[in-house]
C-alpha cells in the first residue's frame, strides 16, 4: 500500500486533473448551499455531481462514475426538480431560503471542516496509491457484486422496491386509511 | 495519486453539506445538502478502495449500494415533502413547529394543563 510515497511536488497529471475537478465540485457545492434561486441550486448540483464523476474516473473507478452520472445526474436531480415544481416554489429569486441560524450553521460547518481536514491530513499524509486503469471496470466489479456481495445486493433491491412503493402510497391522495 | 487529495476534498464537501442542512429553510434544499454529504462519503469509499486494493472491491460495491440507498432516500423524502406541502401549504422546515415545546408561540386554545 504505502511503499515509498513520492513527494507532493511536482504533482502528477492525474493529481492536477483531480484537484481541478475537486475545485469545480467544491465551488458548485458552495453555490448549491448559498444560491438564492431554487432551480439554480438543482442545476449547480448537476455540475457538482458531474465533477465528482470525473474524479471517480481519475481514480480509475469508471463503473462507479457512469452509475453516478446515470443515477445522480439522471434520476435524483430530475426527481428534485419535480419536487421543486410540485411544491410550487418561486422560480425567480427568493429571499427566505436561508433560515435565521445561518451564522451558527457556518460556525458548525467550519468547525467540522477544521476537525476533519486536520485529522485526515495527519492520518493520511503519507498514503499513496499508484493508479492502474481497469481496477474499477464493469467486469471485475460485476463479478464481485454477483459473487461475494450478492446477498446485500438482493436485500438492497427489496429495500428499493419497498421504498418506492412507500413513496407511491405516501404521494397518492385517494388511498384512505383504515376506518 | 496521494490519498490525501480525495480525502480532503471529501471532508470539505461533507462540511458544505453540513452547512446546507443546518442553514437552509426549504426542505428540498435540505435534501440536496444531504445528497452532497452522501457524495462526500462515496468519494471517501472510492479513494480507500483504490488505496487498499481490495480484491473483493468492497469500497466500490459499497459506493454503488450507497448510491441506490440515496435514490431510495430522495424518493421517499420527496414523497414526505409533498405530503407536508399538501397539508400545510409550506415546506419551510422552521415553520413546522407542531412538535415544539415552546408554549409561548403556541395557540392558547391548544395549550392543555
CATH class of B4-88: mainly alpha
- At B30-70, the pLDDT tens digits run 999 999 999 999 999 999 999 998 888 999 999 999 999 99
CB pairs under 8 A between A and B: 252
Task: Look at the block and give the residue holding cell 383504515.
Answer: A178
Domains of chain A: 13-93+102-133 (1.20.120.1200)
**In chain A, what residues touch B26 (CB-CB under 8 Å)?**
38, 89, 97
ipTM: 0.90
Half-sphere exposure of A158 (CA within 13 A, CB side): 5
- The string over B47-69, giving b where at least 16 C-beta atoms fall within 10 Å of a residue's C-beta and e elsewhere, is bbbbbeebeebbbbbbbbbbbbe
pLDDT band for position B113 (cuts 50, 70, 90) = very low
Cα–Cα distance between A50 and A55 in angstroms, integer? Answer: 9
- Point out the residue among A48, A80, A121 whose CB comes nearest to the CB of B74: A80
Three-class SS of residue A128? Answer: strand
Who wins on pLDDT, A174 or B7? B7
Burial of A59 (C-beta count, 10 Å sphere; 0-12/13-18/19+): buried
B34 vs A: CB within 8 A: no
Who wins on pLDDT, B29 or B104? B29
CB-based contact A33 B36, cutoff 8 Å: yes
The domain ranges of chain B are: 4-88
pLDDT band for position B105 (cuts 50, 70, 90) = low
Stretches in chain A below the pLDDT threshold 70: 1-4, 177, 179
Cα–Cα distance between B18 and B1 in angstroms, integer? Answer: 27
Indicate the length of chain A as a whole number. Answer: 179
Cα–Cα distance between B13 and B19 in angstroms, integer? Answer: 10
Cα–Cα distance between A103 and A13 in angstroms, integer? Answer: 38
| DSSP tag of A176 | P
CA-closest candidate to residue A77, choices A27, A32, A34: A32
A175 vs B: CB within 8 A: no
A67 vs B: CB within 8 A: yes
A52 vs B: CB within 8 A: yes
Half-sphere exposure of B54 (CA within 13 A, CB side): 18
Amino acid at each position: 500500500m504505502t511503499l515509498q510515497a513520492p513527494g507532493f511536488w511536482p504533482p502528477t497529471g492525474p493529481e492536477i486533473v483531480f484537484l481541478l475537478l475537486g475545485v469545480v465540485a467544491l465551488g458548485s457545492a458552495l453555490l448549491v448551499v448559498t444560491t438564492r434561486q431554487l432551480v439554480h441550486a438543482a442545476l449547480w448540483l448537476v455540475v457538482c455531481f458531474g465533477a465528482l464523476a470525473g474524479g471517480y474516473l481519475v481514480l480509475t473507478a469508471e463503473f462507479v462514475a457512469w452509475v453516478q452520472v446515470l443515477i445522480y445526474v439522471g434520476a435524483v436531480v430530475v426527481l428534485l426538480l419535480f419536487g421543486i415544481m410540485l411544491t410550487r416554489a418561486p422560480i425567480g429569486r427568493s429571499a427566505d431560503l436561508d433560515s435565521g441560524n445561518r451564522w451558527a450553521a457556518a460556525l458548525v460547518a467550519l468547525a467540522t471542516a477544521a476537525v476533519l481536514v486536520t485529522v485526515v491530513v495527519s492520518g493520511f499524509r503519507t498514503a499513496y496509491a499508484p493508479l492502474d486503469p481497469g481496477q474499477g471496470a464493469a467486469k471485475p466489479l460485476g463479478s464481485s457484486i454477483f459473487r461475494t456481495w450478492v446477498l446485500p445486493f438482493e436485500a438492497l433491491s427489496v429495500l428499493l422496491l419497498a421504498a418506492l412503493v412507500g413513496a407511491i402510497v405516501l404521494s397518492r391522495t385517494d388511498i384512505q386509511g383504515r376506518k | 495519486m496521494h490519498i490525501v487529495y480525495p480525502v480532503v476534498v471529501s471532508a470539505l464537501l461533507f462540511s458544505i453539506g453540513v452547512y446546507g442542512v443546518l442553514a437552509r429553510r426549504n426542505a428540498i434544499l435540505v435534501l440536496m445538502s444531504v445528497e452532497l454529504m452522501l457524495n462526500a462519503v462515496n468519494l471517501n469509499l472510492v479513494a480507500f478502495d483504490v488505496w487498499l486494493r481490495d480484491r473483493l472491491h468492497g469500497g466500490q460495491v459499497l459506493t454503488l449500494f450507497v448510491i441506490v440507498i440515496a435514490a431510495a432516500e430522495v424518493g421517499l423524502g420527496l414523497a414526505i415533502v409533498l405530503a407536508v406541502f399538501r397539508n400545510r401549504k409550506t415546506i419551510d422546515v422552521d415553520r413546522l413547529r407542531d412538535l415544539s415545546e415552546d408554549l409561548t408561540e403556541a395557540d392558547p386554545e391548544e395549550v392543555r394543563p
